[in-house]
Structure 1
Amino acid sequence: MMPEHQPNNPLHGVTLKAILEHLVELYGWDELGDRIRINSFNTNPSIKSSLTFLRKTPWAREKVERLYLKSLK
């Protein structure tokens, strides 16, 4: 089965880990925690704990994806 081609989806093929690493590099944990108010960004932040939370929490993942897309413009 061929993977679906999604030319109009800028998130297609970008992993959540890559998105998070980009945002941390761009903003740092402190500013990222100010922009998106979730504990995994503000209390002992790490990529691993943040990914675990974001994979279980659709509203938080959506905010992270939205900030990522905004950061690309």
Structure 2
Amino acid sequence: MSSQPNNPLHGITLEQIINELQAHYGWEYMGYQINIRCFTHNPSVQSSLKFLRRTAWARSKVEAMYLNMLEKRT
């Protein structure tokens, strides 16, 4: 039994979140929505992971964008 049954982010890595957002929206839209250099200047999954792991405010925005995407899918 899962300890966080109502948490849609439970068990999902940051890399999975970035990959799904990039596939769904693309880097340009992601950089428009969340203006951070790892999305707007030579974007890559690796640079995004490095930045988001160190920057809590940006990570929470990316997680919110991901949850919003999941909500719109259902």
Give, in whole Å, the separation in 2 of the partners of 1:14 and 1:59. 18
Identity of matched residues, %: 54
Q: Which ranges in structure 1 are unaligned for 5 or more consecutive residues?
A: none
Residue pairs, 1:34-45, within 5 angstroms: 34-45=32-43
Separation (CA, whole Å) in 2 of partners of 1:50 and 1:63? 13
Q: What stretches of structure 2 of length at least 5 have no aligned partner?
A: none
Q: Aligned pair count?
A: 70
TM-score by length of 1: 0.93
1:1-73 equivalent positions in 2, closer than 5 A: 5-73=3-71
Amino acid of the residue matched to residue 8 of structure 1? N
What is the RMSD computed on CA atoms of the aligned residues?
0.8
Task: Provide runs of 4+ in structure 1 moved above 2 Å.
Answer: none
